[in-house]
């Protein structure tokens, strides 16, 4: 059902705006953040789809803007990075996250994580993530320690839970807010959103999409609780749908 609905969007492309998460949605999850693989054809397919939608397509991700650009080079799409703390609009103008004293906290966290073999610290600039996919036995203690660092960071920062990861990010940032921001400006303005994501961090994006009469699609485990109204089973299915849309 979701596949047929999505493939019908290009019957009236001028009515729709597409918002895509990256990890676990466009790309298969990997054991470490840096080992993620981008299928060779995907950047070009996204660029063709971007053109068909007259630019009303954006990536909305927990990755940094610079990292996401490396994944899909030579293309630079409208993008909300770090859950919206970083933002590049359709004209190419970027807004960066500010980290300030957060740099000291990140160094402390990285040093402490050396005591937890297999735990990987991902420095995203304006955010920091502690991945325990390779060391699930540290989930409880890592959650406790990340709550401690969230308290150290202060009210301007929030602890975000994800798939085998705890992340400290700017509290003002959410993917839902990022989608709202895109929808206030051309070429997104006046269109109905289609949002695709796979994680807890995408639920705010789904909520905004539903409220605006759009199509929200949760990717992955079909029994995961979500406010999305459609489901696709895996990033492979997502890529197949997008390839057909881009053809």
Rounded to an integer, what distance in angstroms lies between the CA atom of residue 53 and that of residue 103?
A: 39
In terms of Cβ atoms closer than 10 Å to its own Cβ (0-12, 13-18, 19+), residue 118 is middle
Among 11, 21, 28, 198, the one annotated catalytic: 21
86-88 and 79-81: which strand pairing?
antiparallel
177 is a catalytic site residue: no
Rounded to an integer, what distance in angstroms lies between the CA atom of residue 162 and that of residue 117?
A: 20
Peptide bond into 187 cis (omega under 30): yes
Rounded to an integer, what distance in angstroms lies between the CA atom of residue 37 and that of residue 23?
A: 10
Alpha helices in 8-93 (DSSP H): 42-52, 65-72
Strand partners, 63: none
Q: What tokens were used for 163?
A: 């798939």
In contact, 85 and 126? CB cutoff 8 Å: yes
In contact, 169 and 127? CB cutoff 8 Å: yes
Please enumerate in sequence order all residues whose Cβ is within 8 A of that of 184, keeping only pairs 6 or more positions apart, or say none.
Answer: none
Residues with catalytic function: 21
């Amino acid at each position: 059902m979701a596949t047929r609905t999505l493939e019908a969007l290009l019957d009236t492309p001028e009515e729709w705006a597409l918002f895509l998460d990256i990890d676990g949605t466009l790309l298969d999850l990997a054991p470490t953040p840096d080992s993620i693989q981008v299928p060779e054809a995907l950047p070009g397919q996204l660029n063709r789809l971007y053109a068909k939608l007259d630019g009303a397509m954006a990536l909305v991700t927990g990755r940094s803007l610079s990292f996401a650009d490396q994944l899909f080079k030579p293309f630079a799409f409208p993008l909300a990075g770090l859950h919206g703390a970083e933002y590049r609009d359709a004209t190419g103008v970027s807004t960066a996250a500010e980290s300030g004293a957060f740099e000291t906290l990140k160094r402390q966290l990285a040093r402490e994580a050396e005591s937890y073999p297999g735990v990987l610290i991902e420095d995203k600039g304006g955010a920091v993530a502690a991945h325990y996919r390779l060391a699930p036995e540290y989930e409880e203690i890592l959650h406790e320690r990340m709550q401690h660092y969230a308290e150290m960071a202060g009210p301007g920062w929030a602890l975000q839970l994800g798939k085998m990861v705890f992340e400290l990010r700017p509290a003002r940032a959410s993917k839902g807010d990022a989608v709202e921001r895109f929808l206030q400006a051309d070429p997104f303005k006046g269109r109905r959103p289609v949002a695709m994501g796979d994680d807890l961090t995408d639920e705010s994006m789904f909520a905004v999409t539903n409220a605006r009469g759009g199509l929200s699609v949760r990717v992955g485990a079909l029994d995961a609780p979500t406010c999305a109204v459609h489901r696709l089973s895996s990033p492979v299915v997502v890529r197949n749908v997008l390839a057909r849309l881009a053809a």
